[in-house]
């Protein structure tokens, strides 16, 4: 099992980078930078590339609607170049509220667009003259669109690798099936290992049946909050409570009613009634009550919080559920504790 971290901005960006550098020496395998509708992740990944030497760097994730497919490919090739072949392209759809509300772009055809984007990126990295006649993207533009002067071009530079790994963030059955078919990696969110097979097993099996063997096994990259210690050292309930605001936001407010992918996932996990309650509270402005309504069972199931023996058991459960990469978010009081938690997971991880 690989161990990585999600970049943590508490204390500022430069402190976050220093933490990555320190953890690289400790042996982490990957660092992931989110984007959402915050600062762009590209500039931060470029900075990280200059400060690190061995750790894999990944976008977690770039929304597919806000960059052209060619620009996504160029950006990935550029980050792979400055990192000497250490970049992984993480992409995802985001959601209608962000794509249409912040970027002013229509949120449509997520499955079709994702498939075509992956095809286009791989053509660009192979330095093929780019010609793509898909339903959603036509490159060059066909006659009757634009000036008519577009020509098929290939990337000027020679990429470090012509096959940069692609990870897709996916939750719904069709998107998960597509990911298992075409991508090197899958990045779900709010992963409950004990229910993974019942929620995603059929979709993963269907996608894997169509998978090109050249892609290798699917790298399943899962986020988990971590705090390790006996109650004397770590107040388990208090640390778990730190996770609830994020869950309250995502289940309650990250999407409109009927279009909240995280609420839908909680429902598939069997928390439908409580997810409805959280959403009702959050959207009515009662955010504190929504956070308090997040069930302890859900938080514990997706976290690594408790004594060493318990955390070792949970890591084994994640591995048994098919997880190959754990992306850690330390629930730490300070930098030293944050580093200690990650180092302990490195020592406990399954082979």
Instruction: State the number of CA atoms in the 13 A half-sphere of 275 facing the CB.
Output: 21
Residue count of the chain, please give it.
Answer: 351
Task: Report pLDDT for 230.
Answer: 79
Nearest residue to 170 via CA among 216, 110, 97: 110
List CB contacts of 92: < 8 A, sequence separation 6 or more: 61, 62, 63, 64, 168, 169, 170, 187
pTM: 0.96
Q: Is 272 within 8 Å of 266 (Cβ atoms)?
A: yes
Mean pLDDT of the chain: 96
pLDDT tens, the chain, 351 aa long? 999 999 876 668 999 999 999 999 999 999 999 998 999 999 999 999 999 999 999 999 999 999 999 999 999 999 999 999 999 999 999 999 999 999 999 999 999 999 999 999 999 999 999 999 999 999 999 999 999 999 999 999 999 999 999 999 999 999 999 999 999 999 999 999 999 999 999 999 999 999 999 999 999 999 999 999 876 567 888 999 999 999 999 999 998 898 899 999 999 999 999 999 999 999 999 999 999 999 999 999 999 999 999 999 999 999 999 999 999 999 998 889 999 999 999 999 998
Nearest residue to 15 via CA among 322, 332, 346: 332
Whose tokens are 């806000």? That residue is 66
> Each residue of 287-325: b (16+ CB within 10 Å) or e?
bebbbebbeeebbbbbbbbbeeeebbebbebbbebbbbb
Whose tokens are 């793509």? That residue is 132
CA distances from 286 to 13, 273, 292, 329 (A): 31, 17, 10, 26
Q: Is 326 within 8 Å of 349 (Cβ atoms)?
A: yes
Q: SS3 of 16, please?
A: helix
325: β partners: 2, 221
Task: Report pLDDT for 12.
Answer: 87
Per-residue tokens: 342: 């990650």
* Architecture per CATH, 2-225+307-348: Alpha-Beta Barrel (3.20)
Nearest residue to 302 via CA among 219, 346, 240, 238: 240
* pLDDT per position as a tens digit, 277-302: 999 999 999 999 999 999 999 999 99
Say how far apart CA 26 and CA 19 lie, in whole Å. 10
Task: Report pLDDT for 8.
Answer: 76
Q: For strand 87-92 and strand 62-63, is the pairing parallel, antiparallel, or unpaired?
A: parallel
Task: Report pLDDT for 10.
Answer: 66
The boundaries of every CATH 3.20.20.30 domain in the chain are: 2-225+307-348
Q: Is 204 within 8 Å of 176 (Cβ atoms)?
A: yes
């Amino acid at each position: 099992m690989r161990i990585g971290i999600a970049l943590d901005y508490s204390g500022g960006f430069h402190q976050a980078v220093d933490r990555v550098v320190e953890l690289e020496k400790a042996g982490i395998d990957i660092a992931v930078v989110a984007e959402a509708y915050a600062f762009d992740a590209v500039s931060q990944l470029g900075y990280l590339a200059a400060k690190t030497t061995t750790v894999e760097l990944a976008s977690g994730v770039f929304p597919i609607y806000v960059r052209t497919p060619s620009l996504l490919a160029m950006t990935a090739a550029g980050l792979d170049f400055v990192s000497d072949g250490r970049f992984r392209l993480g992409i995802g759809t985001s959601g209608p509220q962000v794509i249409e509300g912040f970027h002013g772009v229509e949120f449509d055809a997520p499955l079709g667009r994702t498939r075509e984007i992956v095809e286009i990126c791989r053509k660009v990295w192979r330095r093929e003259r780019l010609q793509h006649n898909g339903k959603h993207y036509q490159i060059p533009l066909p006659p009757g669109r634009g000036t008519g002067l577009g020509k098929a071009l290939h990337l000027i530079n020679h990429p470090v690798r012509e096959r940069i790994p692609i990870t897709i963030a996916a939750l719904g059955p069709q998107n998960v099936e597509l990911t298992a078919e075409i991508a090197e990696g899958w990045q779900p969110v709010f992963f409950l290992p004990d229910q993974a097979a019942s929620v995603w097993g059929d979709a993963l099996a269907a996608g894997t049946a169509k998978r090109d063997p050249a892609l290798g096994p699917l790298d399943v990259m899962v986020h988990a909050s971590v705090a390790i210690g006996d109650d004397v050292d770590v107040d388990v309930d208090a640390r778990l409570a730190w996770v609830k605001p994020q869950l309250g936001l995502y289940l309650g407010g990250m999407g409109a009613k009927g279009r909240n992918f995280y609420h839908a996932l909680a429902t598939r996990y069997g928390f439908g009634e409580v997810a409805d309650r959280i959403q009702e509270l959050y959207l009515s402005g009662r955010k504190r009550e929504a956070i308090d309504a997040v069930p302890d069972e859900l938080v514990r199931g997706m976290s690594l919080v408790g004594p060493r023996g318990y955390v070792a058991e949970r890591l084994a459960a994640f591995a048994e559920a098919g997880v190959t990469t754990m992306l850690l978010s330390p629930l730490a009081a300070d930098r030293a504790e944050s580093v200690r938690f990650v180092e302990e997971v490195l020592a406990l991880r399954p082979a």
